[in-house]
């Protein structure tokens, strides 16, 4: 039996190779083999995977070569499924920094429901931020459906550094514009070629925690995490393990999706993750022929009712279905605008401007806080505004001030600007 298997496999391998020898490199008039583009051809029954290095081509040309190879291999008798993968690039594995906290800022991309375009948005956002000059790490935490490698056309195997830490795969553009940053990707999907993993509870928790702690990054400015849909184990584990600076929510402007989004937003806010805003995806379709915008959902836009800024309204467009690249022309303009909106929101939430005359209690030892507040309050006239910026909830300040004036404060507003900063404002009676 085994000799029969071998004879069946060998001719198929030969036939696949012969088919690929008919595909030519569009830049040099030689076959893809002679051009050195084919790294490996793997055959598993009727499944054929071609590993090719097309990274030197602009995206559209690389896509065209991929399609030609797919067609050539699919037409071979005996081939049931053909795949073309980007061959892994060699990455510098020395001098890396281990753990997600090495990133200067961490942005999670979440959705309440599956299929609303969360991974598409996370991937194009990562590319847009890199195109704008950030060194970006993209972490695919969607362990039940890790689609990021496929969307970026990158593949494993994941290498290890000298200490055995997994090293992400390089997805930087070879023809990056001046000033574009790098893009690295880590995903369970790079480690396991099999179909989506049916992991549950503890296993998902352990695998993800290990990857968060152990991955050796090249020192990214921004880490983008693609969460699985919903608020299950993986989302909660991520919030426990990672200091997330802000979450971007993706939803379609459909009533049911938006009301689920409302509940998920509350969960993030309760877990002290600042909500950067919402991406409204696939709400309209722009007709290629007439250029007109057509709404895909009837009635009022339910996203208006969410208490969160709308960061971008992304139409249903073929541009969002092409593999993005971390270059200015590698992502649609709407994604570049989203990158800017996200960066602006992070700055707004995390940059604390202390108003003139406000009392800044951040970092002040507890025993000195009351004196600071009392001195500043005594120093202002009746009717003047009094403000405090603090690294603790300044609720008790109200009682303290009311004791000072032996009167009730008509207004006392507290706002939590970010997980580390509260502001309160009142008027001296």
Ligand X SMILES: Nc1ncnc2c1ncn2[C@@H]1O[C@H](COP(=O)(O)OP(=O)(O)OP(=O)(O)O)[C@@H](O)[C@H]1O
Question: Known binding site for ATP: residues?
Answer: 112-119
Length, in residues, of the chain: 429
* Residue 253 binding ligand X, by CB under 6 A: no
Binding residues: 112-119
Site string for ligand X, 274-303 (x = CB under 6 A): -------xx---------------------
Nearer to ligand X, 76 or 136 (CB): 136
Q: Kindly list the distances between the CA atom of residue 87 and the CA atoms of 38, 68, 107, 155, 185, in Å, as whole numbers in the listed order.
A: 8, 17, 28, 7, 14
* Residue 229 binding ligand X, by CB under 6 A: yes
Q: Which stretch binds ligand X (CB under 6 A): 30-38, 54-62, 139-147, 356-364?
A: 139-147
Q: Which stretch binds ligand X (CB under 6 A): 42-50, 109-117, 201-209, 300-308?
A: 109-117
| Closest separation in Å from C-beta 314 to ligand X | 5
- Phi then psi for residue 388, to 5 deg, are -130, 135
* Residue 111 binding ligand X, by CB under 6 A: yes
* Residue 199 binding ligand X, by CB under 6 A: no
By CB atoms closer than 10 A (0-12, 13-18, 19+), residue 199 is middle
| Closest separation in Å from C-beta 158 to ligand X | 21
* Residue 320 binding ligand X, by CB under 6 A: yes
Q: Kindly list the distances between the CA atom of residue 137 and the CA atoms of 42, 123, 207, 219, in Å, as whole numbers in the listed order.
A: 29, 10, 18, 9
* Residue 115 binding ligand X, by CB under 6 A: yes
Beta strand 159-160 with 166-167 is antiparallel
| Closest separation in Å from C-beta 167 to ligand X | 25
* Residue 187 binding ligand X, by CB under 6 A: no
Query: How many other C-beta atoms can be found within 10 angstroms of the C-beta atom of residue 328?
Result: 17
| Closest separation in Å from C-beta 253 to ligand X | 12
Containing H/E element for 132?
none
Nearer to ligand X, 120 or 327 (CB): 120
The site that binds ligand X (CB under 6 A) totals a number of residues, namely 19
Q: Kindly list the distances between the CA atom of residue 84 and the CA atoms of 148, 186, 224, 240, in Å, as whole numbers in the listed order.
A: 16, 20, 26, 37
Q: Which stretch binds ligand X (CB under 6 A): 153-161, 199-207, 309-317, 369-377?
A: 309-317
Nearer to ligand X, 26 or 196 (CB): 196
Query: How many other C-beta atoms can be found within 10 angstroms of the C-beta atom of residue 271?
Result: 16
Nearer to ligand X, 25 or 142 (CB): 142
Q: Kindly list the distances between the CA atom of residue 389 and the CA atoms of 111, 347, 428, in Å, as whole numbers in the listed order.
A: 33, 17, 17
Q: Kindly list the distances between the CA atom of residue 204 and the CA atoms of 142, 146, 195, 226, 268, in Å, as whole numbers in the listed order.
A: 10, 13, 15, 15, 20
* Residue 252 binding ligand X, by CB under 6 A: no
Nearer to ligand X, 86 or 280 (CB): 280
Q: Which stretch binds ligand X (CB under 6 A): 58-66, 108-116, 346-354, 412-420?
A: 108-116
Q: Is there a contact between 42 and 51 (Cβ–Cβ < 8 Å)?
A: yes
* Residue 117 binding ligand X, by CB under 6 A: yes
Nearer to ligand X, 63 or 317 (CB): 317
* Residue 316 binding ligand X, by CB under 6 A: yes
* Residue 124 binding ligand X, by CB under 6 A: no
Nearer to ligand X, 120 or 172 (CB): 120
Q: Can you tell me the distance from the alpha carbon of 117 to that of 314, in angstroms, rounded to the nearest whole number?
A: 10
Q: Which stretch binds ligand X (CB under 6 A): 28-36, 66-74, 117-125, 371-379?
A: 117-125
Mark 165-184 as b/e (b = at least 16 C-beta within 10 Å): bbbbbbbbbeebeeebbbbb
Provide the 3-class DSSP secondary structure of residue 31.
strand
Instruction: Figure out which of the listed residues 26, 58, 99, 145 binds ligand X, where binding follows CB under 6 A.
Output: 145
Q: Which stretch binds ligand X (CB under 6 A): 20-28, 96-104, 114-122, 364-372?
A: 114-122
Q: Which residues pair with 121 in a beta bridge?
A: none
- With tokens 């198929």, the residue in question is 12
Residues 12-71 that bind ligand X (CB under 6 A): none
Nearer to ligand X, 150 or 213 (CB): 150
Q: Is there a contact between 136 and 130 (Cβ–Cβ < 8 Å)?
A: yes
Give the binding site for ligand X (CB under 6 A). 111, 114-120, 142, 145, 147, 229, 281-282, 314, 316-317, 320-321
């Amino acid at each position: 039996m085994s000799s029969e298997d071998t004879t069946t496999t060998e001719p198929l391998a030969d036939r696949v190779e012969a088919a690929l020898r008919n595909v030519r490199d569009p830049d040099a008039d030689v076959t893809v083999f002679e051009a050195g583009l084919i790294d490996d051809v793997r055959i598993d029954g009727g499944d054929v995977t071609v590993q090719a290095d097309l990274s030197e081509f602009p995206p559209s040309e690389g896509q065209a070569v991929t399609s030609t190879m797919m067609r050539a291999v699919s037409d071979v008798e005996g081939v049931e499924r053909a795949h073309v993968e980007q061959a892994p690039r060699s990455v510098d594995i020395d001098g890396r920094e281990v753990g997600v906290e090495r990133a200067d800022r961490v942005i999670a991309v979440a959705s309440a429901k599956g299929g609303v375009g969360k991974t598409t948005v996370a991937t194009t956002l990562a590319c847009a931020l890199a195109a704008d000059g950030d060194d970006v790490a993209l972490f695919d935490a969607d362990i039940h459906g890790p689609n990021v490698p496929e969307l970026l056309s990158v593949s494993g195997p994941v290498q290890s550094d000298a200490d055995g830490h997994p090293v992400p795969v390089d997805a930087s553009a070879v023809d990056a514009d001046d000033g574009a940053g790098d893009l690295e990707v880590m995903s369970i999907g790079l480690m396991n070629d099999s179909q989506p993993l049916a992991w549950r509870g503890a296993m998902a928790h352990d695998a993800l925690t290990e990857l968060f702690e152990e991955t050796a990054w090249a020192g990214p400015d921004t880490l983008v995490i693609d969460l699985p849909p919903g608020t299950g184990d993986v989302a909660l584990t991520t919030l426990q393990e990672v200091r997330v600076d802000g979450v971007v929510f993706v939803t379609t402007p459909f009533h049911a999706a938006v009301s689920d989004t409302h509940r998920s937003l509350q969960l993030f806010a309760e877990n002290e993750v600042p909500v950067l805003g919402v991406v409204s995806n696939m709400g309209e379709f722009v007709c290629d022929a007439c250029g007109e915008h057509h709404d895909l959902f009837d009635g009022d836009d339910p996203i208006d009712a969410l208490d969160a800024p709308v960061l971008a309204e992304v139409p249903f467009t073929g541009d969002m279905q092409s593999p993005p690249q971390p270059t200015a022309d590698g992502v649609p303009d709407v994604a570049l605008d989203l990158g800017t909106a996200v960066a602006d929101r992070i700055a707004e939430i995390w940059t604390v401007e202390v108003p003139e005359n406000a009392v800044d209690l951040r970092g002040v030892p507890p025993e000195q806080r009351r004196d600071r507040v009392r001195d500043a309050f005594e120093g202002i006239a009746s009717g003047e505004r009094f403000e405090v910026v603090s690294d603790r909830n300044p609720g008790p300040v109200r009682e303290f001030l009311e004791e000072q004036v032996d009167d009730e404060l008509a207004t006392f507003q507290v706002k939590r600007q970010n997980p580390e900063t509260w502001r309160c404002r009142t008027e001296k009676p």
